[in-house]
């Protein structure tokens, strides 16, 4: 017998298992050593398809740094600190530097989270801007894309002479990957623009997702391509794309041109965060990877999407997700008034909302698999989502029987299973 620790919020759940019954899906090739300050500085000096920082920024520039919120691990505390210090060395005044959180339609970043994401040094010295996707007074219209999307973004993106986007690269269940262009859209877009781009994931005529939409897909992905068109209207001066380890430390950095560096990071991530499996199995136990990946159910769903790639239809998935912030949005539960995923899809066609698509995606999985959830959510809410609540991992395993062969995914959102059959 063997034992594994599966992250759950800021703690972990121990699971004792038979190695003949379970295989662990993880990535052993990813470097374990976190990048030093010197190594990050070297990446700044040797960017991809871009001049180095010293040739881009001038002392009289005003610079806006776009960073992710608390639902993403991007090693921003280390990277932003080093970047601000470099800008100061170039001669940019602290009064001409600002930071904005790319929250999209997420909740605002709390005061404590700002300190954790940026360090006290930065919070005390640099202006911080909060984005509100619903505040029309802080939004401007840039125009319309060739696909007809009206582009509304935070006005701060046009109030500074240089924009730097900083984000983490990981898999995304319909945009292909996070990072890059997502710092602008959905990160700093209006709710209406976010909805217009995200609804491109669904094929309302044929049903389900459109061709090209899915995990690890960029070419031909209409959501990714539309978000890139919107980011192009801003034309960020520099981008920093981060790959982090299981505790959120930067282990790989892709800096430079906002489009080329992001694509290089995505290619690296796909190559190093995929695992080939001979076949799917009847049971998958998946941890989101702990906080912040299981901060709420909407974020935790991403690990469920990955687990589905390794589970046979009709099989069982056990999801470990603390969900300390609850569902993610107070009105998320309204979507489960529909009796089937097709019912949610019909509602989305009539009146699209971004998180309705997450509800639809979640329900498509509960229709294909038996899904157990170990979380802090009220059991009544869990059942309304057609999920089976379990007090502990052991309780869930006992309910399905311990003789079932399966996979264990310690970092569900960070590993893409790719079955051979």
pLDDT at 206: 87
Task: Mark out the alpha helices in 238-353 (DSSP H runs).
Answer: 260-272, 297-308, 341-350
Q: Judging by DSSP bridges, how do beta strands 176-177 and 171-172 pair with one another?
A: antiparallel
Residues 48, 254 contacting (CB under 8 angstroms): yes
Please tell me the predicted confidence (pLDDT) of residue 203. Answer: 92
Q: In this predicted structure, what is the pLDDT of residue 417?
A: 96
As a whole number of angstroms, the distance between CA 77 and CA 74 comes to: 8
**384, two tokens:** 């309304």
- The residues near 235 (Cβ < 8 Å, ≥ 6 apart) are 163, 258
Centre a 10 Å sphere on the Cβ of residue 45 and count the other Cβ atoms it contains: 11
Positions of the chain with pLDDT under 70: 28-31, 402, 421
Fold of 37-271: Rossmann fold (3.40.50)
Question: Could you state, in order of their start, the residue ranges of all structural domains in the chain?
Answer: 2-27+275-419, 37-271
Q: State the Cα–Cα distance between residues 105 and 132, nearest whole angstrom.
A: 7
The tens digit of pLDDT for each residue in 274-318 reads: 999 999 999 999 999 999 999 999 999 999 999 999 999 999 999
How high is the pLDDT of residue 71? 82
CB 306 within 8 A of CB 415: yes
Given CATH 3.30.300.10, say whether it is the number of domain 2-27+275-419.
no
Helix (H) or strand (E) run with residue 356 in it: helix 354-368
pTM of the model: 0.90
pLDDT, residue 403, reads 77
Helices (H) and strands (E) in the chain, counts: 13, 20
Residues, the chain, total?
Answer: 421
Rounded CA-CA distance 280/23 in Å is 11
| Structure confidence at residue 383 (pLDDT) | 97
Residue 28 is predicted with a pLDDT of 64
pLDDT of residue 178: 96
E strands, 245-330, where? 250-256, 274-277, 281-287, 311-320
The CA-based diameter of the chain, rounded to the nearest angstrom, is 67
Q: Quick one: which of 178, 172, 271 has its CA closest to 215?
A: 172
């Amino acid at each position: 017998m063997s034992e594994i620790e599966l992250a759950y919020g800021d703690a972990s759940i121990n699971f004792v298992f038979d190695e003949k019954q379970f295989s662990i899906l993880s990535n052993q090739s990813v470097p374990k050593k976190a990048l030093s300050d010197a190594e990050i500085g070297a990446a700044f000096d040797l960017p991809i398809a871009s001049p180095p920082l010293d040739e881009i920024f001038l002392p009289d520039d005003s610079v806006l740094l776009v960073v992710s919120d608390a639902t993403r691990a991007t090693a921003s505390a280390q990277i932003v600190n080093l970047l601000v210090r470099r800008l100061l060395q170039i001669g940019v005044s602290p009064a001409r530097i600002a930071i904005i959180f790319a929250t999209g339609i997420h909740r605002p970043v709390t005061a404590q989270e700002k300190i954790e994401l940026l360090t006290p040094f930065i919070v005390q010295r640099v202006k911080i801007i909060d984005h509100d996707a619903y505040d029309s007074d802080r939004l401007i219209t840039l125009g319309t894309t060739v696909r007809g999307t009206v582009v509304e973004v935070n006005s701060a993106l046009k109030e500074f002479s240089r924009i730097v986007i900083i984000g983490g690269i990981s898999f995304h269940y319909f945009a292909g990957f996070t990072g890059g262009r997502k710092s602008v859209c959905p990160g700093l877009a209006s709710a209406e623009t976010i909805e217009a781009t995200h609804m491109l994931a669904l094929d309302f005529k044929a049903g389900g997702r459109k061709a090209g939409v899915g995990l690890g897909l960029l070419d031909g992905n209409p959501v990714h391509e539309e978000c890139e068109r919107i980011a192009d209207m801003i034309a960020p001066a520099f981008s920093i794309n981060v790959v982090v380890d299981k505790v959120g430390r930067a282990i790989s950095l892709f800096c430079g041109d906002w489009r080329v560096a992001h694509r290089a990071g995505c290619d690296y991530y796909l190559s190093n965060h995929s695992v080939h499996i001979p076949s799917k199995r009847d049971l998958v136990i998946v941890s989101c990877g702990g906080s912040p990946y299981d901060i709420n159910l909407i974020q935790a769903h991403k690990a469920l999407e990955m687990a589905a790639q390794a589970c046979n239809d009709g099989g069982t998935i056990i999801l470990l997700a603390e969900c300390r912030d609850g569902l993610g949005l107070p009105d998320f539960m309204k979507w489960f008034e529909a009796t089937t995923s097709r019912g949610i899809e019909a509602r989305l066609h009539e009146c699209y909302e971004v998180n309705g698509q997450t509800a639809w995606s979640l329900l498509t999985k509960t229709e294909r698999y038996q899904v157990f959830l170990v979380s802090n959510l009220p059991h009544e809410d869990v059942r309304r989502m057609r999920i089976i609540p379990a007090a502990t991992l052991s309780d869930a395993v006992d309910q399905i029987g311990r003789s079932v062969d399966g996979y264990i995914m310690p970092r569900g959102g960070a590993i893409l299973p790719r079955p051979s059959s």
